Amino acid sequence: MIVSSISCLTVVSSAAVVDGGYEYDESNVITATYWELDDAGVLTIYMDTTPTWLDHAEEIKKVVLEAGVTTIPSGAFYGCTNLTSIDTTKADNDLITIGSSAFVGCYSLKAFSTSAWLDVIGAGAFQGSGVEVIDIAFVNELPDAAFYNCDSLKQVYIGGGLIEVGKNVFKGCDNLEYVWFGNGVYNIGNAMFEDCGKLAEIVFPDSLQTIGELAFDD
């Protein structure tokens, strides 16, 4: 085990750090660590920042979000073809945003689960990924085409929210089979499940108030 001290911050890691995003003072002393990537392919993100780790996209195998991270930025893991898991557990009290195109090209990522209460998932966040199962405790807003053409997606679980729902949220998810909405989901958007030819079952809650036009149009 390697223990390294960075300014007043002590970082304990099980593998050597091969690169990271740091902030330096005028004496070139590290004063903050934004992220670190170790030689096992584990990317640990300590605070909100731009995805400068994408210079190492193919090396990233696992992502861990630490407490205080509020945003997965747009394009955060674009082209991280070897990413297999993302752990939001430590950030579940803080995470509120998943940016657009965040997981595009993450072919090895098969599932995404979070207990965070999200404000928004951006358009195309999981487009072109390998995600088969999405399990989200709460999300307030799903914009137009949030999961558009997620060809691998089979199951969706959303515990609550959906106050604001755009059009075509799941359009073109042609392998989607099962959707579960928990109590607290209020709206099903226009053309929400258009072109979802394999969709066999949707569980609606008592809280549902509106179903948009052409919501289930083939």
- 159-182 pLDDT, tens per residue? 998 888 888 899 899 999 999 998
pTM strictly above 0.95 = no
CA distances from 161 to 87, 115, 140, 181 (A): 22, 13, 5, 9
- Give the C-alpha separation, 121 to 72, whole Å: 10
Burial of 183 (0-12, 13-18, 19+ CB in 10 A): exposed
Q: What is the pLDDT of residue 177?
A: 97
In angstroms, the first-to-last Cα distance of the chain is 55
- If you write DSSP's letter for every residue of 84-144 in order, what string do you get? -EEE-GGGTTT--EE-TTTTTT-TT--EEEEEEEEEEE-TTTTTTS---EEEEEEEEEE-T
CA distances from 217 to 32, 40, 59, 103, 148 (A): 51, 45, 41, 27, 15
Q: Which residues of the chain have pLDDT under 50?
A: 1-14
- 12-28 pLDDT, tens per residue? 444 555 567 888 777 77
Q: Running DSSP on this structure, what letter comes out for residue 53?
A: G
Are 181 and 202 in contact by the 8 Å Cβ rule? The answer is yes
Q: What is the pLDDT of residue 48?
A: 95
Query: How many CB atoms sit inside 10 A of residue 5's CB?
Result: 9
Q: What is the pLDDT of residue 6?
A: 37
Q: How many residues would you count in the chain?
A: 218
The one-letter amino acid code at 137 reads A
